[in-house]
Structure 1
């Protein structure tokens, strides 16, 4: 007997994704990805409850993926830090004392409260300043500007869940996506007030989102070029790379997405400047735990 909260997979998709049941209505089961930003529904008979052994194996794989991404990001961070030291030396900062760094403020708006909490923990682990807000995907267009006015961020993350629904149209048809049109409308709302791509950096999208439409709406980075699923924490690594790259530098798109779990099939974007600024002399209040 299935119930809300159970972890399940689908027979028709060869048990490829682990979901959590969020609702059951008559013969239909409504699902939300346990690690992926995907929503789906399935007939009751198509759903199989996950065994404890299979769940442990699944969690081990997920933890390995996340640890690998984190290690790669640490490597990149060290390279970025060394480049900043070299640049600081050329500007004679080090002759007058160590410099400090001022990462940008991040506003992370998420349609999933559980994923948002996980992302906040990772931001904190990375030493980044973030304001997290749980907002349903359908409500984002109306709620985004007051949040931006309150937080005054330099980076905005718009994510949650999404899905391409094959039975509702071709991949080029925006109406065939569960929430892509709301992400796109939210991006357009922001760009009417903040048109500069280097003034306010935007990531938008979730699993299988309409990548081209989100970029055309004005996002710097978006999902999903190959209409694949993206991991819950992927948007954090996009934000972190932007946050720890100097505003004097344009970022290579491959360098931005390569440390994510999903890679270039799941994430892409346009050339964008970093958001980090350095100053001097060194001030203890500007120190950050990530190193």
Structure 2
């Protein structure tokens, strides 16, 4: 079997549990990136099987069902939040709401260009203002300060691919993680702009990232408490929830994690306030 960059494959030694995209080939070693999960992996070429279009379609159907369920739950919660906002802003009067919303702006830095496109599409679908940037994880710490100054976001998402490599050390050894150290350094640089965790909300991490390190560095939300894989779109649901929640309200951790695809094994965080602000009156341009 002749593999090439961009092929969709699965690992025989893992019973073909996940689909991967071929990133590069070095001799007999193939570097892989998860097709739906934010995981990087290396595998020998003879451990890989090429996935047919029919097999890929069947897998994507199952993955799509998970995504649609998370989207449905998120929209339900967003509708309830909006109804409560209308009730509060109109002082309980039965009048048409006459207010506007300034939703939190997201700076989303992603190590995977295809995932970035999927994420920005979902942000737009959810009505969340976003500025997306594709950077290799190693480049992120050098670029984040200038990006923060340019975009001036309320929320920053620092994600891409990661992996815990048992052969490099135990779970406490940061050297055993592919990219956690770069994500953590990004968080530290961002926190030099403001240490207050309600002035700049930070999500950091990808599949199997060292959760404790990212939280200690200053992230509000991070992956991955149980060192499991996280879905490509999980950071979007967390950032969007914060963007659409009033700064007068705190984020209920159970609610925000419930709407993700991976859940609390892959994602966690600390008590955090929303960033959306409401204003009156609503002026409509004619």
* TM-score relative to the length of structure 2: 0.96
Measured after TM superposition, the shift of residue 86 of structure 1 is 2.1
2:55 corresponding residue in structure 1:
54
Q: Relative to 1, partners in 2 of residues 1:188 and 1:91: Cα closer, same or farther, differing over 3 Å?
A: farther
The number of residue pairs the alignment matches comes to: 284
Q: Deviations over 1:208-238 (max 9, x none)?
A: 1000110000000001111111111111100
1:139 corresponding residue in structure 2:
139
Question: Secondary structure in 2 aligned to 1:32?
Answer: strand
Say whether 1:272 aligns with 2:272: yes
Question: Secondary structure in 2 aligned to 1:98?
Answer: coil
RMSD: 1.4
1:26 corresponding residue in structure 2:
27
Measured after TM superposition, the shift of residue 95 of structure 1 is 6.1
Q: Deviations over 1:257-289 (max 9, x none)?
A: 11111111111100000011101111347xxxx
Q: Relative to 1, partners in 2 of residues 1:84 and 1:48: Cα closer, same or farther, differing over 3 Å?
A: same
Q: Is contact 2:90-2:97 (8 Å) kept?
A: no
- 1 CA distance for matches of 2:96 and 2:61? 48
- 1 CA distance for matches of 2:97 and 2:59? 49
Measured after TM superposition, the shift of residue 249 of structure 1 is 0.9
- 2 CA distance for matches of 1:125 and 1:172? 38
Gaps in structure 1 of 5+ consecutive residues: 286-291
Measured after TM superposition, the shift of residue 91 of structure 1 is 7.5
Measured after TM superposition, the shift of residue 97 of structure 1 is 5.7
Question: Secondary structure in 1 aligned to 2:67?
Answer: helix
Q: Superposed, which structure 2 residues align to 1:8-157 within 5 Å?
A: 8-90=9-91, 98-157=98-157
Gaps in structure 2 of 5+ consecutive residues: none
Q: Superposed, which structure 2 residues align to 1:208-227 within 5 Å?
A: 208-227=208-227
Q: Is contact 2:107-2:130 (8 Å) kept?
A: yes
1:289 corresponding residue in structure 2:
none
- 2 CA distance for matches of 1:122 and 1:284? 27
Measured after TM superposition, the shift of residue 111 of structure 1 is 0.6
* TM-score relative to the length of structure 1: 0.94
Question: Secondary structure in 1 aligned to 2:90?
Answer: helix
- 2 CA distance for matches of 1:64 and 1:13? 23
1:239 corresponding residue in structure 2:
239
- 2 CA distance for matches of 1:96 and 1:120? 32
Q: Relative to 1, partners in 2 of residues 1:265 and 1:284: Cα closer, same or farther, differing over 3 Å?
A: farther
Question: Secondary structure in 1 aligned to 2:158?
Answer: strand
Question: Secondary structure in 2 aligned to 1:216?
Answer: helix
